[in-house]
Amino acid sequence: MRVLAFESSCDETSVAVLADGVLKGHITRTQTLHQAFGGVVPELASRSHLEQILLLTRQTLAETETALKQIEGVCATAGPGLVGALLIGLNFGKGIALSLGLPFLAAHHLEGHIWSAELNGKRIPTPFLALLVSGGHTQLVLVETFGRYRLLGSTRDDAVGEAYDKVGKLLGLSFPAGATIDQIAAEGNPAYHRFPQLMVGEELDFSYSGLKTAVLRQVQKLEPSEVQLHRADLLAAFQESAVALLTARLRTGIERFHPRALTIAGGVAANSLLQSAVRDIGKTYSLPTFFPDSSLCLDNAAMIAYVGEKRLAAGQRSPLDAPVRPRWSLEELREPNNSIS
């Protein structure tokens, strides 16, 4: 089944074409206008989606040599995300489905992330553990099968990507700072400072606001010249601590739930330290590890097309008055069936 998909839940506008599980192409534009504000401004994000979406749709159809009459289904992210931003992609998708008389699927953004490593042709054996790490989410999920998810732990305050961005801002880096910190930290000495190991214990939740505050305190203690001199060391120490919490939770999850594989997804899944730590855990527990292509770690419509097509192909349909769902738990999802949802 050939589907056209839209993603607009935060600050990426993205359109993709996928046929029978194989990605034909996607165009993803990260909005740069938020840099001046140090974070995503919801109203500006919605306007920018509105300005971009038609253009990106035309370009994606042209680049994938797809005629509208070849499209057999339409998918769009319905949530979770920013309400105004979601409305643009969801309504645009509904409009195309309505005008072409095609089946429509309102997709879950995090279900898309969970399966994004399969877009490079691999199959992840179930049950598996998925670590979802982005600017908006930090969740450990047990994937029992496609459509059946158990949320094992989530952040009690900041998301891990948010901590990267806030620490970056503190040290004068532009937004979003995760990829830059990843590069700079590689040249630093993580032993320069030991940030407290927060949230030790057996529970599977996460917390990042304490770590962010600890970095702030340390920066305040130093002379500005020392901060400059040791910027890479501070970032390496921060990153070590940030990743240590993620891997600790992953280990506990493996020991408790005995998954058959591991995957990570979301913007922070592109992080080099996290990827190598997860590879090591995979080796320790003899579990295969799956990583999305780096271009598909960030929000994108390819992953929405992938999960949307699976549901449409199984006969599931969403009504054209399906609402946006800014908050939407993965646990509310069900396996696809021949129903309206």
Residues that bind ligand KG4 (CB under 6 A): 10, 134-136, 161, 164-165, 176-179, 182, 266-268, 270-271, 298-299
- The SS3 of residue 39 is coil
Could you say which of Zn ion, ligand KG4, none residue 268 binds, taking C-beta under 5 to 8 angstroms by partner kind?
ligand KG4
Residue 276 tokens, joined: 């190598």
Q: DSSP string covering 307-322, please?
A: HHHHHHHTT-B--TTP
Torsion sign, CA atoms 166, 88, 319, 316: negative
Residue type, 146: F
Phi and psi at residue 171, to the nearest 5°: -105, 20
Task: State the Cα–Cα distance between residues 24 and 1, nearest whole angstrom.
Answer: 12
Residue numbers 122-161 binding Zn ion by CB under 5 A: 134
Site for Zn ion contains 111 (CB under 5 A): no
Nearest CB to ligand KG4, comparing residues 109 and 310 = 109
From the list ligand KG4, Zn ion, none, pick the one residue 308 interacts with, judged by a Cβ distance below 5 to 8 Å according to partner type: none
Q: What is the largest CA-CA distance in the chain?
A: 64
Which CB atom, from 61 or from 296, has the smaller least distance to Zn ion?
Answer: 296
- In whole angstroms, the minimum distance from the beta carbon of 160 to ligand KG4 comes to 8
Residue closer to ligand KG4, measured from CB, 271 or 316: 271
- DSSP character at residue 65: T
Considering the complex, state which of residue 118 and residue 299 has its C-beta at the smaller distance from ligand KG4: 299
Among 111, 158, 162, 299, binds Zn ion (CB under 5 A): 299
Cα Rg, the chain, nearest whole Å: 20
The site that binds Zn ion (CB under 5 A) totals a number of residues, namely: 2
Report which DSSP code applies to 201: S
Q: Which does 179 bind (CB under 5 to 8 A by kind): ligand KG4, Zn ion, none?
A: ligand KG4
CA distance linking residue 242 with residue 282, whole number of Å = 19
Residue 271 binding target from ligand KG4, Zn ion, none, CB below 5 to 8 Å by type: ligand KG4
Footprint of Zn ion (CB under 5 A): 134, 299
